[in-house]
């Protein structure tokens, strides 16, 4: 019998070209003076500046940060937000820009230094600045989650921090922004979204409302990701991928992710795989591993997605990764010390959300199969 809580507080504006309505969206929602935190790619293309021209209430643009945002970069952003005295923030970019902006918005009103929060020694006690999240990739779903993933410059630790303060006030999802995403990033961000949807389905916290979002997301991804990869200008495929990433975000924002994301942290920190490629590396293997634990449920879900069984679903993911030139073997990732990798994967907290908690020998076998 089902027993669950579901809540989704982010106001969502979706549509190709929607970002052009930024000025009126800010006005309708009562905001007067904002900052734009933008990925550098849009400063270089001039889009950030044209958004500022179209939106006179934007007081300044901050873009001084890298993919995989650093805590020191968040601190720099906070200085600007305070200097500009804004009452809202717009974040434009992929997961990196959105996650940096989430942390910066909360730090603008915080009492302690940033590492106190990052290392869970303090909790945010006051609300941060309201955030409008505008994703420019179809992947992370960060626009509807309470998670921010940042990197500590001092210790090299990359970790997700979840807090209700990090939930954006508004998400503006405009698939036209994703047209310029190059094929390899289309592939990795799309596989990240697929990982979110599948992990929401098999997370130990799975529940029926999230199942609906997740199944629909998977169907959209199987029908559109390779189209968007091979023709970046395919506006329908891009729009469907933006929708899929949103639905996957709505699903995992409640259930949290599981084994693939647990393994993605050592893979991206130690072997420099992008987040999506790191999640995708183990995704098809986790379909098979988890089907063994959740047999009838995962088989039924695979059939709802149009596959004859879970194994066919795993095969499809593998073929899709191969066709999109993603890394599929330990050698391609440069992984030699399998034991060290396994140790980090099995001890990652997200592994507790996986229906099977592999022990060292199962994990070793799991990665040996990827040789
Ligand atoms: N907060 C969450 O819930 C959540 C979920 C999953 C992943 N993440 C985090 O998000 C980050 C990854 O985000 P991402 O995959 O969106 O990548 P990203 O934001 O790091 O961007 C990847 C690259 O794509 C470029 N780019 C972005 N949009 C573009 C566009 N429209 N045109 C051309 N180039 C563009 C960026 O400049 C960058 O070089 C990781 O740090 C990951 O850990 C967060
Ligand atoms: Fe992810």
State residue 235's pLDDT score: 98
The pTM (predicted TM-score) of the whole model is 0.97
Predicted confidence at residue 292, as pLDDT, reads: 85
Does CATH number 3.40.50.1970 belong to domain 11-177? Answer: yes
Neighbours of ion ligand 2 (CB under 5 A): 192
CATH superfamily of 183-368: Dehydroquinate synthase-like - alpha domain (1.20.1090.10)
- How far apart, in whole angstroms, are the C-alpha atoms of residue 229 and residue 231? 6
Residues with CB under 6 A from ligand 1: 39, 41, 67-68, 93-97, 99, 136-137, 139-142, 145, 147-149, 177-178, 180-181, 185, 189, 192, 275-276
What is the 140 CA–ligand 2 centroid distance (Å)? 5
> In whole angstroms, what separates CA 338 from the centre of its chain?
26
Tokens of 41: 């790619």
pLDDT of residue 366: 97
Query: Which ligand ends up closest to the CA of 196?
Result: 2
| Residues contacting residue 104 through CB under 8 Å, at least 6 positions apart | 37, 74, 77, 78, 81, 89
Among the atoms of ligand 1, which is closest to the Cα of residue 268?
43
| DSSP β-bridge partners for residue 173 | 14
**What is the rounded distance in angstroms from the CA atom of residue 153 to the CA atom of residue 201?**
34
Domain boundary assignment for the chain: 11-177, 183-368
SS (H, E, C) 104-170: HHHHCCCCCCHHHHHCCCCCCCCCCCCEEEEECCCCCCHHHCCEEEEECCCCCCEEEEECHHHCCCE
Return the ∠ at Cα 181 (arms to 177 and 183), rounded to 5°.
Answer: 150
Q: Which of 248, 262, 256 is nearest to 357 (CA)?
A: 262
For residues 188 and 183, give the distance between their C-alpha atoms in angstroms, rounded to a whole number: 9
Looking up tokens 């194994």, which residue turns up? 311
Q: Please report the pLDDT score of residue 166 as a whole number.
A: 98
Q: Which residues of the chain have pLDDT under 50?
A: none
């Amino acid at each position: 019998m089902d027993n669950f809580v579901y809540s989704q507080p982010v106001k969502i504006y979706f549509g190709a070209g929607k970002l052009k309505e930024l000025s009126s969206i800010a006005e309708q929602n009562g905001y007067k003076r904002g900052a734009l935190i933008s990925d550098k790619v849009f400063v270089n293309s001039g889009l950030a500046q044209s958004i500022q021209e179209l939106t006179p209430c934007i007081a300044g643009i901050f873009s001084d940060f890298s993919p995989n945002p650093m805590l020191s970069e968040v601190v720099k952003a906070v200085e600007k937000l305070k200097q500009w005295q804004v009452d809202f923030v717009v974040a434009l970019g992929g997961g990196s820009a959105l996650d940096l902006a989430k942390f910066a918005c909360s730090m603008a009103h915080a009492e302690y230094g940033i590492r106190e929060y990052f290392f869970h020694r303090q909790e945010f006690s006051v609300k941060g600045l309201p955030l409008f999240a505008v994703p420019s990739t179809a992947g992370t779903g960060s626009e509807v989650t309470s998670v921010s993933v940042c990197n500590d410059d001092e210790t090299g630790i990359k970790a997700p921090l979840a807090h209700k303060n990090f939930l954006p006030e508004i998400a503006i999802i405009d698939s036209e922004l994703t047209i310029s995403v190059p094929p390899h990033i289309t592939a990795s961000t799309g596989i990240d979204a697929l990982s979110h949807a599948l992990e929401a389905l098999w997370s130990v916290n799975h529940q029926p409302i999230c199942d609906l979002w997740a199944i629909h997301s998977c169907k959209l991804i199987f029908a559109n990701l390779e189209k968007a990869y091979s023709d970046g200008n395919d506006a329908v495929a891009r729009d469907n991928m933006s929708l899929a990433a949103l639905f996957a975000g709505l699903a995992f924002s409640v259930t949290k992710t599981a084994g693939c994301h647990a393994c993605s942290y050592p893979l991206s920190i130690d072997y420099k795989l992008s987040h999506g490629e790191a999640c995708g590396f183990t995704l098809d293997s986790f379909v098979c591993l988890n089907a063994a634990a959740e047999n009838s449920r995962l088989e039924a879900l695979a059939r709802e997605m149009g596959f004859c069984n879970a194994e066919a679903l795993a095969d499809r993911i593998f073929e899709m990764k191969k066709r999109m030139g993603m890394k599929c073997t330990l050698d391609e990732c440069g992984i030699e010390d399998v034991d060290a990798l396994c140790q980090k994967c099995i001890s990652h907290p997200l592994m507790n959300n996986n229906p099977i908690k592999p022990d060292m020998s199962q994990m070793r076998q799991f990665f040996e199969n990827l040789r």
